[in-house]
A and B are shown apart, each in its own frame.
Chain A
Amino acid sequence: MTKEEIRQPENLIYKKTDLMTDNTLSYCPGCGHGTAHRIVMEVLEEMGIQDKTIGIAPVGCSVLAYDFMNIDMQQAAHGRAPAVATAVKRLHPEKFVFTYQGDGDLAAIGTAETIHACNRGENIVIIFINNGIYGMTGGQMAPTTLPGMKSSTSPYGRDVHSMGNPLKITELIAQLPGTIYVTRQAVHTPGNVRKTKKAIRKAFENQKLNKGLSFVEIVSNCNSGWKMTPVKANEWMVENMFPFYPLGDIKVNED
């Protein structure tokens, strides 16, 4: 069979959402960012809210998210996306607003913006990609880097005595009364992708109901930064990241 024959409409069981542009993703093959992008866009499409959504891109590998997401987007300074999103939502209460941020963005330089937006209970969605490393700048240590984990700035492994402990920012913000839904998911298997998508859907539904801030952490890989093949990186993630960052809902406030 040729490619063209395979691509007949009757053979299609799944297609790219129109909310993803045709631009080639700038992510390394095997990186979780691409999948995460796609499911956020699928949720927006299924909810039919493309024309009502404003996304905020971070600084990090997903700095170019607006090249791939076919919605109105703003690119924020490193870590400031929650502040940017706060104003967008306050001035546009009827629009859907989300940030998409990495761990360096959200849990290091932007800790204050993250905690305060969560604590104010801004009615937005925060999508947090935790790959335990600074991907874009070449694999430096992040707040979420595991103890003993090697990075370009912890070449002998993170020594918690001199470099501090990994920050479980998601557990931290789950404590805040402003957050109503806090969950940790992954996108390395089809099953997990489905669960993450459900979580993202729930987060946007919460926003629709004016409930408050929903926070979806996605534990992901950075095969380049971790210096592993994509398959190895996912295995390593399951073995090492998940015990420290266990998957599942942390807070589900139903009222």
Chain B
Amino acid sequence: MKGNEAFAEAAIRAGADGYFGYPITPQSEVMEYLMAEKPEERTGMVVLQAESEVAAINMVYGGAACGKRVLTSSSSPGISLKQEGISYIAGAELPCVILNVVRGGPGLGTIQPSQSDYFQSTKGGGHGDYRMIVLAPSSVQEMADFAGLGFDLAFKYRNPVLVLSDGAIGQMMEKVELEEQRPRFTEEEIIQNTPWATTGKPKTRERNIITSLDLDSGRQELHNIALQAKYKEIEKNETRYEAIQCDDADYLIVAYGTSARLSQKAIDILRAEGIKVGLLRPITLFPFPTEIISKLAGQVKGILTVEMSAGQMIEDVRLAVGCKVKVEHFGRMGGIIPSPTEVVEAMHKKIIGG
């Protein structure tokens, strides 16, 4: 299956109640697949093509506020438009899953894969102090897995979850194992699991209000403090990464998604040359695997981050490493995927020889 299709199928199977989207390359297959699958007949899931990304994310807001499992997908320029809604969703503490199949920017840019939305994804993106849980798949299997995991995390923390993919993973075909169909929540389950949701006020409870507004600065600060405490909790519990050949490593590459895949090839070449290089692949970009990178920094002689951007994640790596070892970046921009040999060259030039 294609990465985008695997994500769409996994969303149906994760018991999603609604998808709201707007076409943009390279992720349109998500909605195309969903429309073709007639999930309304399969599970009762609603799929709607909105008039814009702005409308789509606000539909997600409305659906999530009802305690429903809702999702959307887009690519970079569309995600920029969605930032307004994402900030409101974070402010109102609503659970949802958002897929960004990143393409090269800034502006209209290119439709080829890129990783240049890292800052936007991990540092807030919209207005206000907020964070999303950011999952970075590096395979079609993970595209599928992260739909369900995304919903689980989103509901556990009442927080938006972003799946940060790119055009390469969205478009590539791989074998994939899908989870069994999960039942959609019943009305009773929703009322029980999400007692805060707007499901219609019975006489027996106070009205439920979903809002991100509090005109009282004192209370607004308290709300912010509570959000920050939640993000700390997420950092404590949900940091995910993969450490490949790190045990004996003298050097380290830190890379996620597509960059991690090609870095692994680069490491094979370097190891064949007798240079022991390991790969640390963050799976969650927020929370960032700071601790393990800091630990590995005490072991290795240098770190290269490989990102299809001008170097964005490198800032988080440098924060984790402090001044322990040299950290350099290698990447290509504008939708170009670097080749493993380019990574090998960069490793020699910037880290080993430099």
A-side residues, CB < 8 A to B, are: 50-54, 56-57, 63-64, 66, 69-77, 80, 83-88, 90-92, 95, 112-113, 116
B38-58, CB under 8 A of A: which get 1 and which 0? Answer: 000000001010111011101
Question: For B84, what are the chain A residues with a Cβ–Cβ distance below 8 Å?
Answer: 77
A92 to B: closest C-beta gap in Å = 6
Please state if A87 and B63 are interface contacts (CB–CB under 8 Å): yes
A30 to B: closest C-beta gap in Å = 22
**14 further A-B pairs in the complex, CB-CB below 8 A; given A64-B213, A90-B63:** A50-B203, A52-B200, A57-B211, A66-B211, A72-B198, A80-B58, A83-B62, A87-B59, A87-B60, A90-B48, A91-B62, A91-B68, A92-B200, A116-B55
Question: For A116, what are the chain B residues with a Cβ–Cβ distance below 8 Å?
Answer: 50-51, 55
Please state if B212 and A75 are interface contacts (CB–CB under 8 Å): yes
Please state if B199 and A56 are interface contacts (CB–CB under 8 Å): no
Identify the closest chain A residue to B56 (Cβ): A83
Please state if A90 and B46 are interface contacts (CB–CB under 8 Å): yes
Contact status of A83 and B55, CB under 8 A, knowing A70-B201, A73-B198: yes
A39 and B338 alpha carbons, distance in the complex (Å): 64
A3 to B: closest C-beta gap in Å = 29
- List, sorted by A's number, 17 A–B pairs whose CB atoms are closer than 8 Å: A52-B200, A54-B199, A66-B207, A70-B207, A71-B200, A74-B65, A75-B212, A76-B61, A77-B58, A83-B54, A87-B20, A87-B70, A91-B17, A95-B200, A113-B54, A113-B58, A116-B50
A88 to B: closest C-beta gap in Å = 4
Please state if B209 and A73 are interface contacts (CB–CB under 8 Å): yes
Question: For A69, what are the chain B residues with a Cβ–Cβ distance below 8 Å?
Answer: 207
**B3 contacts the other chain (CB 8 A):** no
A76 and B58 alpha carbons, distance in the complex (Å): 8
Identify the closest chain B residue to A113 (Cβ): B55
Please state if A92 and B207 are interface contacts (CB–CB under 8 Å): no
B154 to A: closest C-beta gap in Å = 16
The 8 closest A-B pairs by CB, nearest first: A84-B62, A87-B59, A75-B211, A87-B62, A72-B198, A80-B58, A116-B51, A83-B58
Please state if B213 and A72 are interface contacts (CB–CB under 8 Å): no
A169 to B: closest C-beta gap in Å = 16
Please state if A84 and B207 are interface contacts (CB–CB under 8 Å): no
A104 and B4 alpha carbons, distance in the complex (Å): 38
**How many inter-chain residue pairs (CB < 8 Å) link A and B?**
128
B298-315, CB under 8 A of A: which get 1 and which 0? Answer: 000000000000000000
Please state if B200 and A51 are interface contacts (CB–CB under 8 Å): yes
Contact status of A84 and B61, CB under 8 A, knowing A70-B207, A73-B198: yes
A132 to B: closest C-beta gap in Å = 25
B-side residues, CB < 8 A to A, are: 17-18, 20, 46, 48, 50-52, 54-56, 58-63, 65-66, 68, 70, 84-85, 88, 92, 198-203, 207-213
Identify the closest chain A residue to B48 (Cβ): A90
A54 and B70 alpha carbons, distance in the complex (Å): 18
Please state if B209 and A75 are interface contacts (CB–CB under 8 Å): yes
A53 to B: closest C-beta gap in Å = 6
A88 and B50 alpha carbons, distance in the complex (Å): 14
Please state if A72 and B59 are interface contacts (CB–CB under 8 Å): no
Please state if B61 and A72 are interface contacts (CB–CB under 8 Å): no
A72 and B65 alpha carbons, distance in the complex (Å): 10
A50 and B201 alpha carbons, distance in the complex (Å): 6
Please state if B209 and A54 are interface contacts (CB–CB under 8 Å): no
Please state if B207 and A91 are interface contacts (CB–CB under 8 Å): no
A53 and B68 alpha carbons, distance in the complex (Å): 16
Question: For B66, what are the chain A residues with a Cβ–Cβ distance below 8 Å?
Answer: 54, 87-88, 91-92
Question: For A73, what are the chain B residues with a Cβ–Cβ distance below 8 Å?
Answer: 198, 207-210
A98 to B: closest C-beta gap in Å = 13
A193 to B: closest C-beta gap in Å = 25
Question: For A75, what are the chain B residues with a Cβ–Cβ distance below 8 Å?
Answer: 92, 209-213
- Select one of A52, A63, A70, A88 contacting B62, CB under 8 A: A88
A57 and B68 alpha carbons, distance in the complex (Å): 20
Please state if B65 and A88 are interface contacts (CB–CB under 8 Å): yes
B98 to A: closest C-beta gap in Å = 14
B224 to A: closest C-beta gap in Å = 17
